[in-house]
């Protein structure tokens, strides 16, 4: 992935097993998770609840200043008023925005009565996932999540344009430059809430899960030395995989991501792009979201439930692929303690679609894959390609593995050769070239041809939830995928907030 490099943006990259440590002193942004969308669609949430307190100001009649991030990685000041207080959240609205009392009531009720219960019931309440020394993330000491509604500045002008739907930044949890000193999520009002209320709810669910992930997988494991807090980050694909699972747990199947995978409108999934080395092919970032969604759905279906997600999030030892293999090995198949075996079977499941067993989605999801034409293909760690070949699978040339797939579930399916890179290293970021240095080139397979039996279809109707615009329905993607993000393995050190500034 070509990441935008800014002088005010601090990047930390690390090869698996090698830690990069840095003291954060004056960085604009590092560790913001956000959502993008493409305008259109709409929907409705729960009806209002008379117990929700509404008004121009409720508990706090005073205006409050917030620093809000925009699409260009810049902060700006806004003034907001508290407009509603619920059981588990409170809503603050930018004074420049027109948000109705009914819209605010629906947000409060959707979070209090739906999002909070579904996600916290499975993964835990972020307020209780503090450090072993007794600290928690209720930074503003009110026992509620702060939802800030504002028009996040982006490139949106008309329906179909890409827009920022919202974000969570862990910087807000610490005494640090640009921190708002609150456990909070920022939610877009234009067009996010005004035109797509269902998208706003999904955004809140997605970002709330990232907050839970941070509390459970990063902050809970932090090392504290006086006023210094050292954080070790989880791999991006795991963080996003659990957040994509949260979208399913909140709202059911995400059909648009399945459609993106099946139609592969850019042809990049067929050439190997997937979730493992997140964002290495920046022009097709939706591939990452589609493939990680399917991978985590496959884990759920094969393990028989959502407990595997809890195992991953609460892994006592690992914040990389080993958290996944430990959970899969315990709940699905002991052989899945090996990453190469787990990854290979998921690849095979995407082609075979068996209605039962390991090689499919139990009839709940149907996938299809496209074959590549003869030649050589560069594969980053975790990537794979399929091809039709009349020859036997070549011998493995580790980390490159070859599997001959001979489906027995459908006579219409042809044999394929699966080639995938089983390396677990995320790669080393080369700041000079702005690319990962590590990838593997596949060997040329004799007789390899392109699969013409399932031609790639490109139509506007299947481009829903696209980040490229011209779509009829939005899908949330991470703000860091445009302005640059930290992948797994990094460690940062922050100043611990003073006792009277948020943590007791």
- What are the tokens at 46? 């729960």
User: DSSP secondary-structure letter at 373?
Assistant: P
Closest CA to 237 of 485, 472, 416, 451: 485
pLDDT band at 102 (very low <50, low <70, confident <90, very high): very high
Comparison of pLDDT for 41 and 269, the residue scoring more: 269
Range with the poorest average pLDDT among 35-49, 392-406, 425-439: 35-49
pLDDT band at 129 (very low <50, low <70, confident <90, very high): confident
Rounded-to-integer distance, Cα 346 and Cα 348, Å: 5
Whole-number pLDDT of residue 181: 92
Comparison of pLDDT for 15 and 432, the residue scoring more: 432
pLDDT band at 330 (very low <50, low <70, confident <90, very high): very high
Give the pLDDT mean for 126-140: 72
Q: How far is CA 437 from CA 3, 7, 277, 364, in A?
A: 14, 22, 12, 38
pLDDT band at 60 (very low <50, low <70, confident <90, very high): low
Range with the poorest average pLDDT among 106-115, 225-234, 264-273, 303-312: 225-234
Whole-number pLDDT of residue 32: 54
> Does position 236 have pLDDT exceeding 70, yes or no?
yes
Whole-number pLDDT of residue 286: 85
Q: How far is CA 343 from CA 381, 395, 396, 403, 419, in A?
A: 11, 18, 15, 12, 11
| Most confident by average pLDDT, 39-43, 55-59, 247-251, 299-303 | 299-303
Whole-number pLDDT of residue 409: 55
Q: How far is CA 449 from CA 351, 375, 440, in A?
A: 16, 9, 21
Tallying the residues shown for the chain, one arrives at 504
pLDDT band at 77 (very low <50, low <70, confident <90, very high): very high
Give the pLDDT mean for 250-255: 92
> Does position 233 have pLDDT exceeding 80, yes or no?
yes
Burial 380-417 (b: 16+ CB within 10 A, else e): bbbbbbbbbbeeebbeeeeebbbbebebeeeeebeebb
Mean per-residue pLDDT over the chain, rounded = 74
Whole-number pLDDT of residue 35: 56
Q: Does the pTM exceed 0.85?
A: no
Query: pLDDT tens for residues 281-324?
Result: 766 788 999 999 999 999 999 999 999 999 999 998 888 999 99
Range with the poorest average pLDDT among 8-17, 22-31, 52-61, 269-278: 8-17
pLDDT band at 375 (very low <50, low <70, confident <90, very high): low
- What are the tokens at 145? 């999540």
pLDDT band at 51 (very low <50, low <70, confident <90, very high): very low
Confirm if 490 and 13 have CB atoms less than 8 A apart: yes
Range with the poorest average pLDDT among 209-213, 355-359, 380-384, 485-489: 485-489
> Does position 398 have pLDDT exceeding 60, yes or no?
yes
pLDDT band at 59 (very low <50, low <70, confident <90, very high): low
Q: How far is CA 198 from CA 27, 40, 84, 124, 136, in A?
A: 33, 11, 19, 24, 30
pLDDT band at 16 (very low <50, low <70, confident <90, very high): very low
Whole-number pLDDT of residue 411: 54
> Does position 232 have pLDDT exceeding 70, yes or no?
yes
Please state, for a pLDDT cut of 90, what percent of the chain lies above it.
38
Query: pLDDT tens for residues 135-185?
Result: 678 888 899 999 999 999 887 777 666 678 889 988 898 878 899 999 999
């Amino acid at each position: 992935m070509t990441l935008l490099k800014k002088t005010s943006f601090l990047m930390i990259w690390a090869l698996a097993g090698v830690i990069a440590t840095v003291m954060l002193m004056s960085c604009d942004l590092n560790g913001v998770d956000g959502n993008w969308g493409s305008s259109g669609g709409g929907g409705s949430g729960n009806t209002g609840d008379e117990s929700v307190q509404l008004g121009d100001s409720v508990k706090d009649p005073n205006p409050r200043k917030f620093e809000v991030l925009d699409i260009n990685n810049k902060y700006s000041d806004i003034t907001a008023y508290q407009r509603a207080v619920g059981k588990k959240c409170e809503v603050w609205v930018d004074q420049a925005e027109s948000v109705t009392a009914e819209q605010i009531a629906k947000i409060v009720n959707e979070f209090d009565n739906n999002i909070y219960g579904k996600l916290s019931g499975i993964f835990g309440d972020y307020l209780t996932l503090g450090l072993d020394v007794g600290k928690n993330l209720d930074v503003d000491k009110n026992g509620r999540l702060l939802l800030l509604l504002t028009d996040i500045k982006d490139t949106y002008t008309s329906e179909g344009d890409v827009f920022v739907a919202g974000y969570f930044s862990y910087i807000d949890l610490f005494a640090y430059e640009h921190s708002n000193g609150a456990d909070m999520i920022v939610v877009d009002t234009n067009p996010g809430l005004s035109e797509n209320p269902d998208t706003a709810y999904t955004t809140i669910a997605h970002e709330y899960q990232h907050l839970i992930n941070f509390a459970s997988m990063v902050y809970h494991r932090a090392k504290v030395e006086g006023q210094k807090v050292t954080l070790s980050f989880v791999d991006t694909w795991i963080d996003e995989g659990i957040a994509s699972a949260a979208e399913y747990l909140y709202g059911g199947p995400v059909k648009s991501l399945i459609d993106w995978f099946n139609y592969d409108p850019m042809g990049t999934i067929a050439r190997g792009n997937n979730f493992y080395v997140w964002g290495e092919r920046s022009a097709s970032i939706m591939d990452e979201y589609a493939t990680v969604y399917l991978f985590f759905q496959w884990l759920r279906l094969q393990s028989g439930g959502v407990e595997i997600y809890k195992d991953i999030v609460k892994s006592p030892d690992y914040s990389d692929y080993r958290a996944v293999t430990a959970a899969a090995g315990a709940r699905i198949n002991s052989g899945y303690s090996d990453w190469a075996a787990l990854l290979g079977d998921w690849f095979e499941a995407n082609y075979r679609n068996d209605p039962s067993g390991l090689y499919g989605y139990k009839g709940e999801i149907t996938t299809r894959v496209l074959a590549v034409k003869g030649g050589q293909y560069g594969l980053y760690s975790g990537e794979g390609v399929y091809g039709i070949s009349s020859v036997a699978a070549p011998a493995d040339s580790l980390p490159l593995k070859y599997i001959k797939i001979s489906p027995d579930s459908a006579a219409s399916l042809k044999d394929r050769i699966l080639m995938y890179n089983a390396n677990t290293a995320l790669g080393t970021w080369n700041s000079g070239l702005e690319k990962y240095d590590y990838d593997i080139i596949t060997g040329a397979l004799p007789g390899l041809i392109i699969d013409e039996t399932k031609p790639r279809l490109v139509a506007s109707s299947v481009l829903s939830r696209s980040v490229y615009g011209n779509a009829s329905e939005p899908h949330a993607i991470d703000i860091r995928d445009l302005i640059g993000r930290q992948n797994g393995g990094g460690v940062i050190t922050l100043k611990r907030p003073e006792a009277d500034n948020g943590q007791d």
